Structure 1
Amino acid sequence: MKSRPQKSLGFRQMLAAGTAVLSMTVTALVPAPAYAQFGGIVYDPSNYAQNVLTAARTLEQINNQIRQLQNQATSLINEARNLASLPTSVLAPLQQQIRQTQQLLGEAQRMAYNVQQIQTEFLRQYKSMDLTAPQRAMVDGAEGRWQNSVAAFEDALKVQAGAVANIEGTRSAVNDIVTASQSATGALQAAQAGNQLLAVQSQQLTDLIASVTAMGRAQTLDAANDAAAKAQAREQLRRFLAPGRGYVPTTAQMFRN
């Protein structure tokens, strides 16, 4: 009868020991909290991962901003190139050539390029010439009209020579413009090169108009001279054949004794 309490006590000890082992096993299976402490600093893996993700997103935003700034800088550079002026200008030599042509036109002899003067002189010398004037006056008038024609042809030759002399300047200007346009960096430089080429064409048209005008003036004065000479010739013939005022034969001595 005395051995039963000892068996009961041993069973209880074994049961308590099993309970302790089971408790330790359950504790081992339960996940531990996601943080640890090292030297007083708490380390939280989930918080660390979140911070790394936030830093990565911030870095990506910074990179995007850098790319935007680079694109803006490129755009500003392109705009600056488009606004850059052409380093070459041929306006001054072209204007000088036009002034030379104007000077030649201004040196027109006898009957200048002036509307009022042309009206006055043309009316006096060609359109309303006095056919009742003495013979000497009619001869002087014919000579004056002939001199007008000769001077006009001389003026035309001068203007044409000036136009030919400008050809070399035009060639040089075109060469400079084409060379500059080939290295144009923006739209403004290309447009300015095109405008300067148009200016060269305008200068050439100016020389052409001046040459045609000078030649037309000479031909017009020559045609007017022919018309006036015909009218004067008819009057002189009428005077020559008029009774009592015509030609009277006289003795002419060709050789002296």
Structure 2
Amino acid sequence: MIIRRSRAALLAASILAGPVALSPMLATPADAQWVVFDPNNYAQNVMTAARELQQINNQIQQIKNQTQSLINQAKNLANMPYSLVSTITSQIQRTEQLINQAQRIAYSVSSIDQAFTSNYGAVNLNKSQQQMVAQAQQRWQTSVAGLQDAMRMQATVVGNIPTSRANVTTLGASSQSASGALQAAQVNNQLLVQISQQLADLIALEAADGRAQALIAADKATNQNQGATQLSTFLTPGAGYQPTSVQMFHGN
């Protein structure tokens, strides 16, 4: 009885002490070994596994963030799949061609000065009537050519409107669906180029119309000056008739 009570006391003491160790007195034969469960050790293992799992989850999240960052950078650096700059440039070139094809008087200060010196301004009464008529006809033809140039410019500008409208519609849709900052910036830049083209058309149209009106006004002013000068010369009293000797027959 004393041996049994001692064994029971030792077993209870080992359980309360924490990690359980088998006393030599409790040793059992090899075919009857006990499996001892340590709750403290189990809890520590669970906490360690949980921390390691959290670290793995954090690493996975970091990899996801880095991957998304690379995807965003790729989108920001993606170019637009098309460009309308060449189309807009072609419109500007057509307008420039019409400016360079201006008839009779070019859009040049030297050409304007030369034309006004020869055909406009002060009237030279030393010229013959035929020369004055020829100059008046040249001025009229120049005015008509200016009106034709203005109408050609109007037709070109109006012809550019459908293309400009299509370009703006395409760029507006591209702006809404831009995948990154670079594409958005490229869309805005092309819109600015389109606006610049339309402003260039308006300036060219205004210049052509102003040129035509200026030629008409210059022709009218010169004709009025020439008519007033000729009338004044005609009405100015002269020396009158001066008799001279006339030989009626040869030898007499």
> Structure 1 residue 219 and structure 2 residue 208: aligned?
no
Larger Rg: 1
Distance 1:35 1:182 in 2: 74
Deviation by residue 1:60-102 (Cα, 9 ceiling, x = unmatched) = 1111011011012112212221222222321111110110011
Greater mean alpha carbon deviation, residues 52-61 or residues 124-133: 124-133
Distance 1:245 1:76 in 2: 102
Which residue of structure 1 lines up, in the alignment, with residue 166 of structure 2? 172
Q: Which segments of 5 or more consecutive residues in structure 2 lack a partner in the other structure? A: 241-252
Which residue of structure 1 lines up, in the alignment, with residue 187 of structure 2? 193
> Structure 1 residue 132 and structure 2 residue 126: aligned?
yes
1:242 to partner: Cα distance: 3.9
1:49 to partner: Cα distance: 4.4
> Structure 1 residue 143 and structure 2 residue 126: aligned?
no
Identity %: 47
Distance 1:43 1:75 in 2: 51
The one-letter amino acid of 1:124's match is S
Which residue of structure 1 lines up, in the alignment, with residue 20 of structure 2? 34
Contact 2:78–2:180 (CA<8 Å) still a contact in 1?
A: yes
Distance 2:8 2:149 in 1: 126
Contact 1:90–1:173 (CA<8 Å) still a contact in 2?
A: yes
CA RMSD of aligned residues (A): 2.8
Number of residue-to-residue matches in the alignment:
228
Contact 1:239–1:245 (CA<8 Å) still a contact in 2?
A: no
1:47 to partner: Cα distance: 4.6
Contact 1:88–1:180 (CA<8 Å) still a contact in 2?
A: no
Q: Residues 77-156 of structure 1: matches in 2 within 5 Å?
A: 77-156=71-150
1:244 to partner: Cα distance: 5.2
Q: Which segments of 5 or more consecutive residues in structure 1 lack a partner in the other structure? A: 1-17, 247-257
Deviation by residue 1:128-178 (Cα, 9 ceiling, x = unmatched) = 442332222111111111111111011101111110111111122112212
TM-score by length of 1: 0.78
TM-score by length of 2: 0.80
Which residue of structure 2 lines up, in the alignment, with residue 5 of structure 1? none
The one-letter amino acid of 2:140's match is W
1:245 to partner: Cα distance: 9.2
1:182 to partner: Cα distance: 2.6
Distance 1:80 1:129 in 2: 73
